[in-house]
Amino acid sequence: MAKLYFKYGAMGSSKTAQALITKFNYEERGMKVWLIKPSLDDRDGAVIIKSRIGLGAECTTIKPDDDIYEMFTRDEYRADVIITDECQFFTPENIDQMRRIVDELNVPVLCFGLRTDFLTKLFPGSMRLFELADSISEIKTICSCGKKASVNARIDENGNTVTEGSQVMLGGNDSYIAMCHKCYKRSIGKK
């Protein structure tokens, strides 16, 4: 029986690397993988998923109004499993389409991404995954203090924690730091 999986973690928890390793494991067993990401994530190019440690693979980019279920039924996208990166940027409708693939076509869908934004608010795609996923697991990373990091603190060019701005701002280590909630509260209290 196929399942919808949500594997989330803070920035720097190796979500993308784990997604790509999972892809490799399926392919090593002779299975076809459909690797997808939302079109909003164009940091490494429109059709590339790349981890910070250098792993990378070609993927299909999904626009907000694309119907993932309908796309998957085409021969060119048919696969034994779907693996997604940056799933927090998918629309709730996209998540519903993935759920439909699991339920009606018995194909597992593994979603890797963030749970919350820099203000600790759920992303719409993540919220829908919390509502629909059969399996939810956290990929852990640590704060500089050594505790488990759970917050994606957005930082400015001077290293100060930012508490205003749009929910989505693409960036890496230059824009975000994973922190425990205590360190996050301390960093915003300095303002």
Contact 64, 35 (CB under 8 A): no
Catalytic option among 28, 58, 86, 138: 86
Contact 46, 150 (CB under 8 A): no
Contact 85, 112 (CB under 8 A): yes
> How far, CA to CA in Å, does 66 sit from each of 41, 83, 182, 185?
15, 16, 40, 38
Nearest-5° angle of CA 3, CA 87, CA 43?
A: 145
Helix/strand/coil for 4: strand
124-132 and 92-105 helices, crossing angle to 10°:
30
86 is catalytic: yes
Location of structure tokens 């701002």: 169
Contact 15, 8 (CB under 8 A): yes
d(CA 11, CA 151): 8
The tokens describing 37, both together, are 């990401």
Active site residues: 86
